[in-house]
Amino acid sequence: MTKPLDGKRVLITGGTGSLGKTLLRRLLKGDAGAPEKIVILSRDEAKQYFLQLEYRSRGRDSEDIIYHRASDVLEFRIGDVRDLDTVAAALRGIDVVFNAAALKQVPNCEYFPIEAIRTNVMGPANIVQAIRVHHLPVETVVGVSTDKAVKPVNVMGMTKALQERVIAKANLDAPDTRFVLVRYGNVLASRGSAIPLFHEQIRKGGPVTITDERMTRFLLSLDHAVNVIFAALRGAKRGQTFVPSAPAARMVDIAKVLIGGRDIATKVIGVRPGEKIHEILVSEDEARRTWRSGEYLVIDPILPELATEPGGPAIGQEYSSGDEVLDLPDVAALLEQHGLLYDEAAPAGDEVLR
């Protein structure tokens, strides 16, 4: 059976980040088909060099299909989504775009809001502009968003909310391309997230810092995040947003599980700039146009020109991380499932998911 990326030419912006690297591995594995070409666009020369080294040093001689295929299809480009000419050049000959480029650290975005706007809003706008102005025959663009875009109280969420509107409206500006979105919560052990921080604090003997004991977050693995992207690629209609059903946990419970029986204290330091107590994946307003499709929620776009017949009854209520949280044993089971329990023997900074 033909898969959606068989024979396609794919561009991943932000391809050297945590999500981009997992998406690349899954593409090379053939989970969504066998692409003819995969282009990695990123501005971080060092990260790109080491990613090239990883794939090209093993290359054709590797028995692992991921590395063997990489030598045939992988292409690297240094560049920034903030630059329209760079984006336009990278999009030449591309069929499918995954926009994973983002500034995502909440406090950093608060202190450098213009930088967040340039990457998180103008970056996707450049993708749309390049496709529209140069009449590029791109088939699909998948934008990656976050629960922080819902009822945003921080710059990161505000810019991601604007990205969602830019991507949805693009279906009217460049009607020959399908623009769709995915939105999800915290990715377990991604760069800069809480779990690597907790590991490092435990390694140093504590204390483990908690911003607020009430704080909850949706949790999913990088592979689960990629599953959402592939689901939207396969099934989303123009302007729709795919949202996974995801477990939620108290951050203080995650800290307790990671500390285990060690004599390490926790310290409440207060909410950081722009942080919420609970995150929301679907607002009450969106709930009127959100319905379930298997393990995903599908949000229809707000623009009437893009409205479609719903695939089921509306969920009708907000979807918050505070609605239903895992108990302590279930948090432990989730972290163990993904190989994230603290390991004394693990090297510092290890963020690898099984």
Q: Which residues are catalytic?
A: 148
Cα(219)–Cα(187) distance, integer angstroms: 6
Cβ-based neighbours of 7, under 8 Å, separated by 6 or more: 33, 34, 35, 36
User: What string of DSSP letters covers 229-268?
Assistant: HHHHHHHPPTT-EEEE---EEEHHHHHHHHHTTS---EEE
Please classify residue 207 by burial: count the beta carbons closer than 10 Å to its beta carbon, then call 0-12 exposed, 13-18 middle and 19+ buried. Answer: middle
Cα(271)–Cα(206) distance, integer angstroms: 19
Q: What are phi and psi of 244, to 5 degrees?
A: -80, 150
Contact call for residues 219 and 185 (beta carbons, < 8 A): yes
Strands 296-299 and 290-293: antiparallel
Residue 231 structure tokens: 């689901």
**Three-state SS at 21:** helix
